[in-house]
Structures are given as C-alpha cells and as structure tokens.
C-alpha cells in the first residue's frame, strides 16, 4: 500500500506514526509482564491469547501526563455534577430500585440515596462507563516507569477477573486509567468487593445494575461507612466567625462548633452527638460552608477530592428530598497554577513559609495564606480571592 504514496509523504507518515507510538521497551515490557503473570498463577492460555496481545495506547499516556493548568472553581465543578436532571433521575431510579436499595441499606448500612449519588457522579447512572480497552490501558500504564508497580498489579487483577468470570476482552472496557462499569471500580476493588447481587454466577459491573449497586454498598461498608450517620451538612456561620479551624486536620467536636455559633442553615441548632466534624469552605467565606462527619472521609477514600465528597453528599441529600444549597456557590475564576505559584512565592518572600511553590493550594499554603490575610485585616479564610491577590500584588 505504501508504494502508491509519494515517497516524501510516506516518510512523513512513517516518522510521525513512529513518534506517536514509540515505546522503545514495549516488547521487553510485555515479555516481563508475561513472567509476572506466570508467577501470579495466571494460565498459559490467558498469557498467550490475551496478555501477549495487548496494545500500546499512546493516548493513555497523553491523558495521564496531562497536568491541569488550573484548578476548577467549586462553582464550576459542583454545578456540572449536581444538576436538576441528576436529582430527578436519582429520584426516579430510587422508585425503580427501591426494594433492592432498602435491602442493601439493611445489609450494608449505606442508605439508598448515597448509592444513587455515587452512581450518578461516576457514570451518570450508567450512561457513560468508558469505552477504552482496560487491558490495553493498564498494560500501557504498567510499562510507563512512573507508576509501574501499581498498574502492573491492577493489570494482573484485571487478567484474573477475566479468568474468574470468563469475560470477553471486548467487554472489559472502561476509563483510560482502567476504572470499570457502573461505579468505575479499579480491578483490585472489583476483585475484592464486587458482589454477584443478582445471583447469575458472576459479578458483572458493566451489565447488571443489581451487581453494581450491591458492590458499591459492599465497598462503602468496607471503607468504613457508618450506619445511621450523615455525610455532613451545609451550615451557617455567624458574622464574626474567625475561620481559625479549617479542614480535616482541625476537626472539632460538634459541641465546640455549636459554641462558636454555627447553626443549621434553617437557623436550628446543630444536633451535637459525640462526634467530630471538619469545616470546609470550598469557595471561601462568600460561599457555602459545610461541616463534614466521618462518612465524608469514607467518600474521600473512594475519591480523594473534597469537591467530589461534597457533591456526592449533597446530591444524596437532594435525591432524598432535600433542598438546594442555602448559599449558592459564587462564581469564581478557575485558579491557574501559575497564579497560585506566584502567590506562594510572594507569601514565602514575605516570611510566611508555605514550602516549595508548586501551584497547588495544600494545607501549608492555606495556613500561610490565613496568617497573611489576618495580618492585612482581610477575612482569614485561607481562600485566595481577588482582594488577597491584589494585596500580594499578584496579577
Ligand atoms: Ca450477577
């Protein structure tokens, strides 16, 4: 076929194709993976017919390398995920799966609305589960030096799942990072926590919503979900609030928060069972405030993002008949990493040690920022709003 293409074009095509797919150690790596698979007890048949045939997918590395240039504002993140459509759909699916959901709540301790919220956030209730070959993606990542050990393990687990349940390779599709099915389980979570809820002999997280919901409940139970506890709630802060204790590291007993004047958004006092809660202000003091309980940390064990955990918790409340947020998340610009980095440099220069500037607002940066804001008579909420950028002369 190449003969019919003019030579210059052919050279161009072949060199760009080579550049796009170049992975010098691919063959060696796949051979090594076959050794690992053998040691892990996978059958020679699986090794020869499946593992030996995996393909390198440059797009996976591209996606994995993609460093976000900015962090999304809470408003931007939240309004895309907690939508009226998802609330309505969650309520509809509750009616549809009511019997199962209540059985799962009884058995695993996770109420229906949370299972529906995870399902809604992970795959829009199963409407986009990812279409990439999980085996190809995981092999590609396993052969990339950065997180080779982790992805090699995930690949081995995926191959074991294929053997255990006799899945067709073409059915094992998912995200570019290897997350699968209605609730986007990685292979290791699939292997450990997937449950055959409908009793057909396989735990099928792609095609059985009963299996998927049962597995999600089982997983959450194992992550430490506390029966009869909420995730947290939106709260109201008094006008003179000091913002001295933010985030998980500075969780305090609910009685202490009540003493500081925090109430429910309807003005009612907080109920104060003997438990700790952490305060989160995802868009600073002008936005909604949340007190997060232990189940919030459980949601974070599923996905390590406070925005995600708030979205799951609030979507669950809405599905369960709750109202929209009392304080709507204010529109804020997405924060570019370059700008945050500059802010960190300025803070360091002024003697507020925030560590090596990396463009990401970690707890050290928030602390330094709070101290700086306090010194300037700004609201010390640790949130880099425009007033703070201006004071620090960061454009
Ligand atoms: Ca099943």
Q: What is the pLDDT of residue 351?
A: 96
Domain boundaries of the chain, sorted by first residue: 232-319, 337-391
Where residue 333 falls among pLDDT bands split at 50, 70, 90?
confident
CA 178 to centroid of ligand 1, rounded, Å? 21
CA 193 to centroid of ligand 1, rounded, Å? 13
Q: What is the pLDDT of residue 268?
A: 96
Task: Record the pTM.
Answer: 0.91
CA 197 to centroid of ligand 1, rounded, Å? 6
Q: What is the pLDDT of residue 22?
A: 59
- Alpha helices, H only, the chain: 7-21, 26-39, 44-49, 58-65, 74-81, 84-96, 98-108, 112-123, 134-142, 148-165, 187-193, 209-223, 254-259, 294-302, 306-319, 337-349, 363-375, 386-391
Q: What is the pLDDT of residue 362?
A: 87
Q: Please give the radius of gyration of the chain, using alpha carbons only, rounded to the nearest integer.
A: 25
CA 138 to centroid of ligand 1, rounded, Å? 24
CA 165 to centroid of ligand 1, rounded, Å? 10
CA 203 to centroid of ligand 1, rounded, Å? 4
The continuous run of DSSP H or E covering 252 comes out as strand 252-253
CA 212 to centroid of ligand 1, rounded, Å? 9
CA 207 to centroid of ligand 1, rounded, Å? 8
For the stretch 30-74, pLDDT in tens is 999 999 999 999 999 999 999 999 999 999 999 998 877 888 899
Q: Is the pLDDT of residue 231 over 80?
A: yes
Q: What is the pLDDT of residue 66?
A: 85
For the stretch 176-221, pLDDT in tens is 999 999 999 999 999 999 999 999 999 999 999 999 999 999 999 9
CA 209 to centroid of ligand 1, rounded, Å? 9
Where residue 395 falls among pLDDT bands split at 50, 70, 90?
confident
Q: What percent of the chain has pLDDT over 90?
A: 88
Does the domain spanning 232-319 belong to CATH 1.10.8.60? no
- Residue pair 292/263 in contact (Cβ under 8 Å)? The answer is no
Closest to 371 measured CA to CA, from 207, 242, 284: 242
CA 224 to centroid of ligand 1, rounded, Å? 24
- Eight-state DSSP code of residue 323: P
**C-alpha torsion 343→349→350→353, nearest 10:** 80
Mean pLDDT computed over 248-266: 96
Where residue 10 falls among pLDDT bands split at 50, 70, 90?
very low
Q: What is the pLDDT of residue 366?
A: 92
* Number of residues that make up the chain: 395
> Which segment of 8-22, 45-59, 79-93, 299-313 scores lowest on mean pLDDT?
8-22
Q: What is the pLDDT of residue 6?
A: 38
- Residue pair 113/320 in contact (Cβ under 8 Å)? The answer is yes
Q: What is the pLDDT of residue 1?
A: 34
Q: Is the pLDDT of residue 255 over 90?
A: yes
For the stretch 281-298, pLDDT in tens is 999 999 999 999 999 999
CA 302 to centroid of ligand 1, rounded, Å? 22
CA 102 to centroid of ligand 1, rounded, Å? 19
CA 126 to centroid of ligand 1, rounded, Å? 16
3-state secondary structure of 50: coil
Q: Is the pLDDT of residue 17 over 70?
A: no
Q: Is the pLDDT of residue 378 over 80?
A: yes
For the stretch 104-118, pLDDT in tens is 999 999 999 999 999
Q: Is the pLDDT of residue 311 over 50?
A: yes
């Amino acid at each position: 076929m190449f003969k019919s293409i003019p030579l210059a074009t052919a050279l161009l095509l072949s060199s760009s194709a080579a550049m796009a797919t170049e992975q010098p150690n691919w063959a060696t790596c796949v051979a090594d993976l076959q050794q690992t698979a053998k040691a892990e007890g996978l059958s020679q048949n699986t090794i020869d017919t499946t593992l030996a045939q995996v393909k390198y997918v440059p797009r996976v590395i591209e996606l994995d390398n993609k460093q976000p240039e900015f962090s999304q504002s809470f408003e931007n993140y939240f309004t895309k995920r907690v939508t009226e459509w998802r609330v309505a759909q969650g309520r509809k699916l509750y009616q549809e799966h009511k019997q199962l959901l209540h059985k799962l709540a009884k058995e695993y301790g996770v109420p229906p609305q949370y299972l529906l919220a995870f399902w809604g956030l992970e795959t829009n209730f199963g409407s986009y589960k990812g279409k990439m070959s999980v085996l190809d993606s995981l092999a590609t990542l396993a052969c990339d030096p950065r997180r080779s050990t982790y992805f090699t393990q995930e690949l081995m687990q995926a191959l074991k799942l294929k053997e255990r349940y006799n899945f067709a390779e073409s059915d094992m599709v998912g995200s570019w990072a290897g997350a699968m099915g209605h609730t986007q389980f990685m292979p290791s979570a699939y292997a450990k926590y997937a449950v055959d809820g409908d009793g057909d002999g396989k735990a099928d997280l792609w095609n059985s919503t009963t299996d998927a919901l049962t597995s999600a409940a089982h997983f959450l139970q194992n992550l430490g979900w506390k029966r009869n506890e909420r995730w947290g709630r939106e709260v109201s802060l008094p006008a003179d609030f000091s913002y001295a204790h933010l985030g998980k590291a500075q969780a305090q007993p609910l009685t202490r928060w009540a003493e500081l004047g925090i109430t429910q958004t309807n003005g009612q006092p907080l109920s104060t069972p003997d438990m700790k809660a952490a305060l989160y202000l995802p868009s600073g003091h002008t936005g909604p405030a949340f007190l997060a309980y232990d189940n919030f940390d459980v949601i974070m064990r599923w996905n390590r993002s406070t925005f995600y955990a708030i979205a799951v918790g609030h979507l669950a409340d809405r599905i369960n008949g709750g109202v929209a947020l009392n304080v709507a998340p204010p529109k804020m610009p997405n924060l570019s990493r370059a700008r945050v980095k500059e802010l960190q440099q300025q803070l360091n220069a002024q003697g507020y040690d925030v560590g090596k500037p990396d463009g990401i607002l970690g707890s050290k940066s928030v602390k330094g920022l709070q101290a700086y804001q306090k010194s300037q008579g700004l609201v010390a909420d640790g949130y880099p709003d425009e007033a703070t950028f201006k004071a620090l002369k960061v454009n």
